[in-house]
Structure 1
Amino acid sequence: MFDKYPFTVQENFIRYVQIDTQSDPQSTTFPSTEKQKTLGRLLVQDLLQIGVPDAHLDEFGYVYATIPANTDKQVPVICFCAHMDTAPDCTGAGVKPIVHTNYEGGDIVLPDDPTQVISPADHPYLRKKIGEDIITASGTTLLGADDKAGVAVIIDMANFLVSHPEVKHGTIKILFTPDEEIGRGVDKVDLQKLGADFAYTLDGGERGSFEAETFSADAVTITFHGISAHPGYAKDKLVNAIKVAAYFLDQLPKDAWSPETTEDRYGFVHPVHIEGMTEKATLQFIIRDFYTHKLAAYENSLRDELELALSKFPGAKADFVVKEQYRNMKEVLDNHPQVSQYAIGAIARAGVPVIEMSARGGTDGSRLSFMGLPCPNLFTGEMAFHGKHEYVSVQDMQKSVETIVHLAMIWEEKAG
């Protein structure tokens, strides 16, 4: 079916990653950065040109579009979703994508900063990519495969379905979101307008991977209140909030809890932002675990450590605020087994071994699932995301396109 199809995913991906769409967790606007809409407008143009007539960008930076059904069957409405923003961790301005055609193995030295080397020793998945075409950045930015690979895959899927009307499918919805990387990706989504019954995010890694389980997540903000005084006359008066926060951080476990000391099914407590002055300092944490009840245990332990720290600094006080971010999608998806079964079947139809994984993170699908739209995650090939070593295989992206076309077909076939 795809033997003679001229995939568009590579050329589109290269265009998309050159648009800076970095989100900003400190912003109070939505989307957090206006530049995300620049890519949104381009995606609308691309969809209209393909022949998806209702594609549009709304005031919040979401792109909505519909590929109408071409079957008489009553098929559940399926949505394919990807996010447009890139992570705040590494700059996405001035991305120079480089295609390493017919990768021969070995180190990939990035030319704009030769100290940046993508090595199979550090990235063993590269050993499976010999003979494929690898896209990287140039060494001074991230690439943006997370999640512009997913965006480009969905655009190519739309191009295939519109240009192959003989391929039967139900109504397909397309959703591109802003601000996923800062946990706000579905804050303003209009699910009634979207009108989907089930969904899939395209935001996964290696070829064949399928994720129907994610972390559950909370955010914790601790605000330390000290006592300000003129430093020249501060004896027995000054309580420095910065020092209280620093002491508290230093007391946290060194060989447990943190992302750098945990793997597999272990969760973590991760400080992600600190700022302050003598009178007030603020620490922000993200709390993660596959088991939702363990979040409260982590948070209670943090409270205990906080009380111990405050006891060392008489006069110091602190506020402890917990905010729910998302929950493990498995709690919802277990009630809709066909959503996962059909995805696994589609990966197999694309001729790819299925790798069922649990995501040590979250996707827009985590929150969408609990908003009433069950939504697991499918592979795109994006690897080493959030840093300068990010890369993606063109052939992985093409297999992702094939997978979601087959997935649309399977939903139609299984309908009554």
Structure 2
Amino acid sequence: MTNKQHIIDRFISYVKIDTQSDPKSTDTPSTKKQWDLANKLVQELKEIGLQEVTIDEHAYVMATLPANVPHEVPVIGFVSHFDTTPDFTGTNVNPQIIENYDGKDIVLNKEKDIILSPDYFEDLEQYKGQTLITTDGTTLLGADDKAGITEIMTAMEYLVDNPEIPHGKIRICFTPDEEIGRGAHKFNVEKFGAEWAYTMDGSQIGELEYENFNAAQAVVKVSGKSVHPGYAKDKMVNSMYIAQDFINSLPRMETPEHTEGRQGFFHLSSINGDVEETILEYIIRDHDKTHFEARKQMMQDLVSDICSQYERDCISIEIKDQYFNMREKVEPVMHIVDLAQKAMEEVDVTPIIKPIRGGTDGAQLSFMGLPCPNIFAGGHNFHGKYEYVPVESMQKATEVIVKLAELTARKYE
């Protein structure tokens, strides 16, 4: 259906633009360079024939594909983000195209001996014979989520060029700063005006997700008392030892490296300390809301227990909720998931329905009144030098978008 080379060219034009976000910035977008791609997308949307193309002061790009059917159809939307993670450099991305992949090791960078191998990344085996786009081993690729943008843009262009395919009004939005958890913070749901939407931000072909973690951040502060070590007996209180007691009192096997599926965890992401003060930063994750609340309570109870062992308040905790499981908001409108599943099946994609072990803009948007499941964009090994995307997966994601538009229009005839 979609021209393979056209998708390749479009995707590469996006990933060559550095759009790395910055969690330390308080601006939106968090980096000025995100405007480079945002402005390019505005121009491209106009060129392919979309209407009501806008970009606001925070670089949120929105556009409309008007309905081409006479009957009433709910307005649906598609959303992707154009920033890339601050975890790994996105400067001077130099994609490599591997045609007719032979199933063997791919040399990403000969000089630095960086190999993308199916012996380690087993998912590669399912793409034998396909066209892969990889990094050159020195940067990330940016398929998260420039693959999603490519697919939405290509699908809208296809619908404009093929008016015989029925569809209702479709709204699209490209957002900044998703990778630092702020992609939905300044998203104007009322302006967007859709009844529901889909983020094109999943990984391997077939993924369809409407569950994600409940998430919170915890900061534990431990206070000690610094005394000359030669005269410290019964006087010194070493905050690092108290922090160690806290760490060791949490369930050791309930950490990211020991959990999968719907299993939650405590993740110690940062330690910074000396005798006088130690600060621990945690993230708390669980799909089950009851278990999530129990995890937060466990940490608070542990702080109280440790405090009771000392004559003074030596430890405190501050817990802030970050986002919640969108299943709560999607289950009452499960027909939107059913439509996505049917769209995949009709374009010969086997749906893989599973919970997200992470967060998504769709979660925040769902709690803002825009139910928003997540659909695959096709990439693998996000946020690093081993990232790659099969072109055929991007083609199929594009077909899913087109089919979703058609099925929604036909459902409401």
TM-score normalised to structure 1 length: 0.92
- Which of 192, 195, 202 aligns to 1:194? It is 192
2:293 aligned to 266, 273, 296, which one? Answer: 296
Query: What residue in structure 1 maps to residue 49 of structure 2?
Result: 51
Quote the offset at 1:191 in angstroms.
0.8
Shift in Å at residue 33 of structure 1?
A: 2.3
Conserved 8 A contact 1:169-1:411? yes
Letter in structure 1 aligned against 2:11: F
Say if 1:113 and 1:299 are closer, same or farther in 2 by CA, change over 3 A: farther
Aligned equivalent of 2:75? 77
1:130-169 counterparts in 2 under 5 A?
130-169=128-167
Could you tell me how far 1:268 is from its partner in structure 2?
1.0
- Note if 1:262 corresponds to 2:248: no
Relative to 1, partners in 2 of residues 1:272 and 1:23: Cα closer, same or farther, differing over 3 Å? Answer: farther
Is the partner of 1:199 in helix, strand or coil? strand
Match of 2:350 in 1: 353
Which deviations, in whole Å up to 9, do the C-alpha atoms of 1:220-248 show, x marking residues without a partner?
22233344668898776654545543553
Change in CA separation of 1:400 and 1:229 when aligned onto 2, cut-off 3 Å: same
CA shift in 2, pair 1:26/1:231, >3 Å:
farther
Shift in Å, 1:29: 2.4
Match of 1:391 in 2: 388
Which range moves more in the overlay, 357-366 or 311-320?
Answer: 311-320
Moved more, 32-41 or 189-198: 32-41
Paired with 1:388 and 1:20, the residues of 2 have a C-alpha distance of 15
Matched, 1:323 2:305: no
Tell me if structure 2 keeps the 8 A contact 1:204–1:381.
Answer: yes
Deviation at 1:260, TM superposition (A): 0.4
Q: How far does residue 366 in structure 1 lie from its aligned partner after superposition?
A: 1.0
Please, what is the CA RMSD of the aligned residues? 2.4
1:239-275 deviation line (CA, Å, top 9, x unaligned) = 4545543553354443x11110111221111122344
CA distance in 2 between counterparts of 1:274 and 1:26 reads 18
- 1:374 pairs with 2:379: no
Work out whether 1:245 is the aligned partner of 2:251. Answer: no
Say if 1:215 and 1:289, in contact at 8 Å, map to a contact too: yes
Aligned residues: 413
For 1:306, which of 294, 303, 312 is the aligned residue?
303
Structure 1 window deviating more from structure 2 (303-312 vs 258-267): it is: 303-312
| Secondary structure of the structure 1 residue equivalent to 2:138 | coil
Aligned to 1:104: 102
Report the CA distance between 1:278 and its aligned residue: 5.5
Structure 1's 387 and 314: CA in aligned 2 closer, same or farther, altered over 3 A?
farther
- Partner Cα separation in structure 2 for residue 325 and residue 125 of structure 1: 31
1:70 partner amino acid: N
Per mean C-alpha deviation after superposition, the further-off stretch among 83-92 and 146-155 is 83-92
Amino acid at match of 1:333: V
- Flag the 1:34–1:234 CA change in 2: closer, same or farther, 3 A: farther
Contact 1:9–1:155 at 8 Å: present in 2 too?
Answer: no
Query: Which residue in the other structure is 2:208 paired with?
Result: 210
SS at match of 1:288: strand
Question: Aligned partners of 2:83, 2:310: CA distance in 1, in Å?
Answer: 42
Q: Which residue of 2 aligns with 1:225?
A: 223
Q: In the superposition, relative to structure 1, how do residues 113 and 359 fare at CA in structure 2: closer, same or farther (>3 Å)? A: farther
Q: Could you tell me whether the CA contact under 8 Å between 1:116 and 1:139 is conserved in 2? A: yes
Deviation at 1:375, TM superposition (A): 0.8
Rounded Cα–Cα distance in structure 1 between residues aligned with 2:227 and 2:30: 37
Contact 2:7 2:150 in 1 (8 A): yes
Would the aligned equivalents of 1:112 and 1:138 in 2 still touch at CA under 8 Å? no
Gap runs ≥5 in structure 1: none
SS of residue in 1 equivalent to 2:144: helix
CA contact (8 A) 1:244 1:310 kept: no
Is the CA contact 2:51–2:66 (under 8 Å) kept in the aligned structure 1? no
Which one of 3, 14, 31 corresponds to residue 29 of structure 2?
A: 31
Shift in alpha-carbon separation, 1:243–1:56, aligned structure 2, 3 A: farther
The C-alpha deviation readout for 1:315-344, integer Å capped at 9, x for no partner, is: 563332222222222212111121011111
Residue 280 to residue 38, structure 1, CA distance change in 2 (3 Å): farther
Give yes or no for contact 2:109–2:115 (8 Å, CA) kept in 1.
no
Q: Would you say the 8 A contact 2:212–2:325 is kept in 1?
A: yes
Give 1:332's aligned residue.
329
Moved more, 234-243 or 291-300: 234-243
The residue type paired with residue 142 of structure 1 is: L
- Which has the larger displacement, 282-291 or 73-82? 282-291
With the length of structure 2 as denominator, give the TM-score of the two structures.
Answer: 0.92
Letter in 1 for 2:333: H
1:65 aligns with 2:63: yes
Displacement after TM superposition at 1:374 (Å): 0.9
Secondary structure of the equivalent of 1:335?
helix
Q: Does the 8 A contact of 2:94 with 2:135 survive in 1? A: yes
Q: Distance in 1 between matches of 2:85 and 2:246?
A: 28
Q: Which amino acid aligns with 1:206?
A: Q
Match of 1:213, SS state, is coil
Q: Distance in 2 between matches of 1:57 and 1:129?
A: 37
